[in-house]
Structure 1
Amino acid sequence: MKTRLNCPCGEYITAPDEDELVRLVQAHLAAEHPGRSYERDEILFMAS
């Protein structure tokens, strides 16, 4: 299970499970990187 992702902007995002990680990453993208979006599979591919 992947629960961590380091955004290139320096933000380190962690979550208790993959569903929450995807939600948090998508929220981060919307707030900090407007116009960028990734699907669940893409986020989990980049996560560890």
Structure 2
Amino acid sequence: MKTRLTCPCGEMMKGADEDELVTLVQKHLAENHPDHDYSRDEILFMAY
């Protein structure tokens, strides 16, 4: 299970599970990088 992702901007996000991680990353993208929109699969591909 992948629960962590570090954005190229330096923000590190950690979720309790993959669902929470995807939610956190999508929120981060909406607030900080509105021109980037990634699917669940794309986020989990980049996660570790």
Category of TM-score, reference length = shorter chain: over 0.9
SS of the residue aligned with 2:10?
A: coil
> How many residue pairs align between the two structures?
48
RMSD across aligned positions (CA): 0.4
**What is the 5 A alignment of 1:1-48?**
1-48=1-48
Read off the aligned partner of 1:13 and give its amino acid letter: M
State TM-score, norm by structure 2: 0.98
Consecutive aligned runs of 4 or more in structure 1 exceeding 4 Å deviation: none
Distance of 1:35 and 1:47 partners within structure 2: 20
Structure 2: runs of 5+ lacking an equivalent:
none
Structure 1: runs of 5+ lacking an equivalent:
none
Measure how far apart 1:35 and its partner are: 1.5
State, as a whole percentage, how many aligned pairs show the same letter: 69
SS of the residue aligned with 1:36?
A: coil
In the TM superposition, what whole-angstrom CA distance separates every residue of 1:3-35 from its partner, at most 9, and x where no partner exists? Answer: 000000000000000000000000000000012
